[in-house]
A and B are shown apart, each in its own frame.
Chain A
Amino acid sequence: MSVNPGRQDARKPRPWWLGLGVLAMGALWLNGARSIASTTNYIGVGPAAIILAVGIGLTVLGVILIAQAMRGELVPAPEGEEDTPPSRSAFLLALAGVSIPLLTIRWLGFPFTAMLAFTLVTHAFGSRRTGLDLMVGAVLGSVAWFGFSRLGISLGPFLPLIG
C-alpha cells in the first residue's frame, strides 16, 4: 500500500523554532555590540567587534536553519537501535531532577538536593523503588559532600536550614 507523499511530507517535523532561537540569540548579540562603547578604534578591532561578528554569524545561521526547517531538511537524528520512542513524562521527570537543585540547594543543602535529584532521575528511567532510590541518593550525596569537603571543595553547609 503506498503512502501519499504529500501527506507524508506534511507530517515531517519542521522545527523552525530552533532557527528562531538562534536568530534571537544573534539579535541579542547584535544589540549587545551596539551598546558597547568602542574605546580602542586605533587598532581596528574594539571590544564590540567580535560580538558583532558572532551576532552576524548567528543571525545568518538562524535564517538558514529556519529555511532548512521549512523545507523539511532539519530532521531529528536517527534513533539508536535500542532506543524506544520518546517519552514526554520520562523527559519531564528527568528535567525535574536536573532543575530541583535550583529550588532546594540553598535551603536543604547538597546532600538532600542530590538525594531528590537522584530519585527523580532514577524514576525517569523507570525505577519505582522510591525508598531504595532515596536511600541510595542520600548515601551518594552525603559521601560526595564529605569526600569533596575533605578535598577542599566546598559544597555549602550540610543542611543550611539548621545552620
Chain B
Amino acid sequence: MDVLSQLIGGFAVALQPMNLFWALIGCALGTAVGVLPGIGPALTIALLMPVTAQVAPASAFIMFAGILYGALYGGSTTSILLNTPGESGAVMTALEGNRMARNGRGAAALATAAIGSFVAGTIGTLALTFLAPAIAELAFVFGPEDYFALMVLSFTSVAVVMGRSMVRGFTALFFGLALGTIGIDTQTGQTRMVFGTLELLDGVSFTVVLVSLFAIGEALYVASRSGTVPAAINPLSGGSWMTRQDWARSWKPWLRGSVIGFPIGALPAGGTEIPTFLSYALERRLSKHPKEFGHGAIEGVAGPEAANNAAAAGILVPLLTLGLPSTATAAVLLAAFQNYGLQPGPMLFATNPDLLWGLIASLYIGNLILLVLNLPLVGIWVRLLLIPRHYIYGGIVVFALVGVWGLSTSWMDLLLMCGLGLIGYVARVYDFPIAPVLIGLILGPQAEIQLRRALAVSQGDWGVLVSTPIATTLLSIAFLVLVVPPILARLRARPKAEPAISAG
C-alpha cells in the first residue's frame, strides 16, 4: 500500500470521536505543562503511562503526541510573557519574544510563534509521513551488528552534544547504563547488581528514574533557590494581532526554520536546541532589520519557534523507524511503546499500521487543535501562571508520588525516588544532563542484546561489529562525534591563547 492510502487509514483512526477526544486532552495537557514551569512533556507522559494502561494503544499515543506538540506551543507562551523558557528549545524564543512583549507587542510575538509552530509542525509531519516508511524499509536490512553500531552512535552523540562537557555527558550516560544492568539478565537468567534485594529483580523502573530525576530533582532545586518572589508576567496588552509587515517578515523564517529543524531533529541527539540556535543565527544574518535583534525582532521568534516544532516531528523519525530515542521525551515514548509490548522499528509499520498511521495522522489534527487552542485562548493559558509556585511544586511532588507508588506500591521504589531525586538535584546544580541517563537506561539493555546476538551469530568473532558497511559507517561517525569536538575546541582556543602569551 502506498503512503497516501496508509495515511488515509490513519486519519480514519485518528478522526474517531474517542481518539479526537484524547487528542484534545493531550493538546490541552501539553499546552498546560508547556506553560507551567518545572513540568515537561517527558515527565507528563511518564506520569500518565500507568493511567493509560487502561486505554487502547492508538488513543494513548494520540494523546502523547498531543502532549509532545502542545508542550512546544505552551513553552513559547512562557518564554514570551515570562522570559522563562519552559524547555531548552524555547530559549531563543525568549530572547526576542520577551523583548517584543515588553515593547507591548506580546500578542504579535505569540501569534507568530503559534502560526510558525503550526506551519513547521505541518511541514515536519509531512516530511515524517513520507520519510518514515522509506527509512523503515531500509531498516529491514539492519543486522544485530548494525543496530549495535546505531546504538553506539546514539550513546556517543547524546553524551557529546547534550550538556556542557563531554565528561558530564558520559558520566550521565554511564550512570544510565549502570541502572540498566540491574535485574535479571534476559539471556541467561542470572541476577545482576540486585544487592540481595528481591524488588530489584525486575530492574529499576524507567518511570521511577524519570520521575525522580526530573520532578523530584527539579522540585528540590527550585525550592532551594526560588525565594518567595513571584516572577513578573508581561501583560498581553498592546498590538492585538500581526500586522501586514509582521506577516511579511515572518513567513520566510517559518519556512527556513522548518527546513533547519526537521533534519537536525531526526539526527541522533539532534534535539530541539541546536536547530533553534541555528535558526536564530540564520535569521539574524539574513534580516533586513539586524539592529532590531536583541530588542524584539519578530524574525527571531518566528524562525526558532518553527525550527523547534519541525525538530519535534524529526525526533519521531528515528524513534518510529529504528526504535532509537534521541531526546528525553522520545525515550519516554519508547518506554510507553514497550509498556504496551510494542517495539518501535520497521516491524511496527507492518504489524501495527493502524496505530502508527493513526499516530502520524493525529499529528496533523493535533497541530490544528493547538493552533485553535493557542491563538484565541492564549489568555486562558496565561492565567495558569497565576497559580502560586508553591502549589505547582507541591502538586508536582504529589503526582510524582502517584507515579512511583502507583507502579507497584513498592517501598523500594520510594527509596529509589528519594535517592535518585537527590542525584537529580546534584545533576541540576552541577549541570549534568539527564537525557543521557534515560537513553543509557533504555537503550543499554537493547545494545547488550544486539551485541550478544551479533557475537553469537559470528561464533564470538568481534570482527562482526565492523563486518557490514552500515555498521562500519555508523561506528566511524560515532568515533568522529567523539573526537572532532575536542579537536575543534582546541583549535578554536589556540588563536585566543597566543595573544595572551605574547601579551604576557
Distance from A50 Cβ to chain B, minimum over Cβ atoms (Å): 5
**B456 contacts the other chain (Cβ, under 8 Å)?**
yes
Which residues from chain B contact A148 at a C-beta distance below 8 Å?
Answer: 51, 402, 406
Docked pose: A47 CA to B445 CA in angstroms: 11
**B138 contacts the other chain (Cβ, under 8 Å)?**
no
**B502 contacts the other chain (Cβ, under 8 Å)?**
no
In contact, B177 and A54 (Cβ under 8 angstroms): yes
Indicate which residue in B174, B175, B192, B224 contacts A94 across the interface (CB closer than 8 Å): B224
Docked pose: A29 CA to B181 CA in angstroms: 10
> Given A29-B193, A105-B405: A98 and B421 within 8 A (CB)?
yes
In contact, B228 and A126 (Cβ under 8 angstroms): yes
In contact, A76 and B193 (Cβ under 8 angstroms): no
Interface residues of A in 102-137 (CB under 8 A from B): 102, 105-106, 110, 113-114, 117-119, 121-127, 133, 136-137
Which residues from chain B contact A121 at a C-beta distance below 8 Å?
Answer: 219, 223, 390, 393-394, 397
**B246 contacts the other chain (Cβ, under 8 Å)?**
no
Name which of B111-119, B313-321, B422-430 contacts chain A.
Answer: B422-430
**B399 contacts the other chain (Cβ, under 8 Å)?**
yes
Size of the chain B interface, CB-CB below 8 angstroms: 71
In contact, B167 and A68 (Cβ under 8 angstroms): yes
Residue interface bits A90-101, CB-to-B below 8 A is 1, else 0:
110111011101
Which residues from chain A contact B50 at a C-beta distance below 8 Å?
Answer: 153
Residue interface bits B161-176, CB-to-A below 8 A is 1, else 0:
0001001001100110
Range of interface residues on chain A? 35 or more
Which residues from chain B contact A102 at a C-beta distance below 8 Å?
Answer: 411, 414-415, 418
**A3 contacts the other chain (Cβ, under 8 Å)?**
no
Residue interface bits B249-278, CB-to-A below 8 A is 1, else 0:
000000000000000000000000000000
In contact, B192 and A32 (Cβ under 8 angstroms): yes
In contact, A57 and B170 (Cβ under 8 angstroms): yes
Which residues from chain B contact A20 at a C-beta distance below 8 Å?
Answer: none
> Given A121-B394, A122-B391, A137-B398: A47 and B431 within 8 A (CB)?
no
In contact, A44 and B460 (Cβ under 8 angstroms): yes
Residue of B nearest to A47 (CB): B185
Indicate which residue in A42, A125, A141 contacts B390 across the interface (CB closer than 8 Å): A125
**B379 contacts the other chain (Cβ, under 8 Å)?**
no
Interface residues of B in 236-257 (CB under 8 A from A): none
> Given A83-B225, A151-B51: A57 and B174 within 8 A (CB)?
yes
**A163 contacts the other chain (Cβ, under 8 Å)?**
no
In contact, A94 and B190 (Cβ under 8 angstroms): no
> Given A74-B430, A155-B405: A58 and B455 within 8 A (CB)?
no
Docked pose: A155 CA to B223 CA in angstroms: 26
Residue interface bits B418-453, CB-to-A below 8 A is 1, else 0:
100110011011110000000000001000100110
Which 4 residue pairs spanning A and B have beta carbons closest together?
A125-B390, A84-B227, A126-B228, A77-B431
Q: List 16 additional contacts besides A98-B418, A122-B390; criterion CB under 8 Å.
A: A40-B188, A43-B459, A50-B448, A51-B181, A54-B177, A61-B167, A76-B430, A77-B164, A94-B224, A98-B421, A114-B401, A118-B398, A123-B390, A141-B398, A153-B51, A156-B405
28 A-B residue contacts at CB 8 Å? A29-B178, A40-B188, A48-B192, A57-B174, A58-B174, A58-B178, A61-B171, A74-B430, A82-B231, A85-B225, A86-B224, A87-B227, A91-B425, A94-B219, A102-B415, A105-B414, A117-B401, A118-B395, A121-B219, A121-B393, A121-B397, A123-B390, A124-B223, A125-B389, A136-B391, A144-B398, A151-B54, A155-B402
